[in-house]
Structure 1
Amino acid sequence: MSATTKDVIEGWIRALNTSDLDGVLSRLTEDVTWHVPGDFLGLSGVHRGHSEVVALLGLLATVFEPGTLRVEPHRMITGEGAAALECTTTARVLDGREYRNRYAFLFDIPDGRISAIHEYLDTDYARRVLFPDSATVPE
């Protein structure tokens, strides 16, 4: 039995919440695109393919304590080959402060794997909490 669109998104959330990189990648097509808004060097822009997604998720380790990232879903709308997710993402910043931001994700999911992710968040809040002394993400 093939996974439903809802199953794919729930599995993606579970993999993120347990720091299971292989689990995240297994739900993405090889040529996935992940669109992140804002002007954070390294984080913002379009990330293409598994290697760039690995690099994107690796950057989170430079700002969050390992194992603290959690995606808390509030609402999910699924359809044939697409989904929308409204959630709160929480984590502990390396300096001990709490990060808590609202997100929306739009997913393209042809054939049971995510081919595109469009991420939306309060980028001003993210900048103030994650990079208070810098205009860009450290490289």
Structure 2
Amino acid sequence: MSLEANKAVVRSYFEAVNSGNCDAILALTTENFLFTTMARAPDWLQIEWGREAFSQVPPTMSQLMKAPIHLAVLNMIGEGNKITVEAETDGEMLNGRRYNNAYHFAFELADGKLHRVREYSCSYLAQSCFGAVEPGNPEASKMAD
């Protein structure tokens, strides 16, 4: 696929994440898709999710916030089947904390779909706002006090 077609797939991914559309996330990912957080600490934030688990993360996170999570794309560059994105989010948690994280995502595509995603963000902020999040099960997620 062309670089512009790959960028369009990544833009569609952010639209699916922002709308919490699990089916769209699944449609945009390969069968062996892998989402990896590049956090070094705490241990529970060193995550690898396959496509099914990852598709449940955005709606689960959004249920812990006053409004659905929204990732704003600030910059996107790419070469071949690799696209990187600088993004940010800003929202208020149900626990009153402000979740205003900055991200860098590294995407790898295969056959027009997302194959691998590595997320770099502030793990301290994620832990202090969300605690442990269990995809698809907001009741089991442990929001930080």
TM value normalised by structure 1 = 0.79
Q: Distance in 1 between matches of 2:87 and 2:120?
A: 10
Q: How many residues align?
A: 131
Q: Distance in 1 between matches of 2:83 and 2:72?
A: 16
Secondary structure of the corresponding residue to residue 118 of structure 1 = strand
Tell me if the contact between 1:35 and 1:47 (Cα under 8 Å) persists in the aligned partners. Answer: yes
Gaps of 5+ in 1: 132-136
Tell me if the contact between 1:81 and 1:111 (Cα under 8 Å) persists in the aligned partners. Answer: no
The one-letter amino acid of 1:109's match is: L
The runs of 4+ residues in structure 1 deviating greater than 3 Å are 54-59
Secondary structure of the corresponding residue to residue 120 of structure 2 = strand
Matched, 1:138 2:139: no
TM value normalised by structure 2 = 0.77
Name whichever structure is richer in strand by fraction.
1
State the Cα distance separating 1:130 from its structure 2 match: 2.8
State the Cα distance separating 1:125 from its structure 2 match: 1.9
* Aligned residue number for residue 134 of structure 1: none
* Aligned residue number for residue 53 of structure 2: 52
Q: Deviations over 1:59-100 (max 9, x none)?
A: 4245324x5211111110122111000010233312243311
* Aligned residue number for residue 121 of structure 2: 121
The one-letter amino acid of 1:39's match is: P
Q: Distance in 1 between matches of 2:32 and 2:74?
A: 28
The one-letter amino acid of 1:138's match is: K
Tell me if the contact between 2:70 and 2:90 (Cα under 8 Å) persists in the aligned partners. Answer: yes
Tell me if the contact between 1:68 and 1:92 (Cα under 8 Å) persists in the aligned partners. Answer: no
* Aligned residue number for residue 20 of structure 1: 21
**Structure 1 vs Structure 2: percent identity of aligned residues?**
21
Shift of the 77–123 alpha-carbon distance from structure 1 to 2, 3 Å rule, reads same
State the Cα distance separating 1:110 from its structure 2 match: 1.5
Secondary structure of the corresponding residue to residue 138 of structure 1 = coil
Q: Distance in 2 between matches of 1:63 and 1:22?
A: 21
Tell me if the contact between 1:82 and 1:110 (Cα under 8 Å) persists in the aligned partners. Answer: no
* Aligned residue number for residue 106 of structure 1: 106
* Aligned residue number for residue 39 of structure 1: 42
Q: Distance in 1 between matches of 2:129 and 2:54?
A: 23
Q: Distance in 2 between matches of 1:54 and 1:111?
A: 19
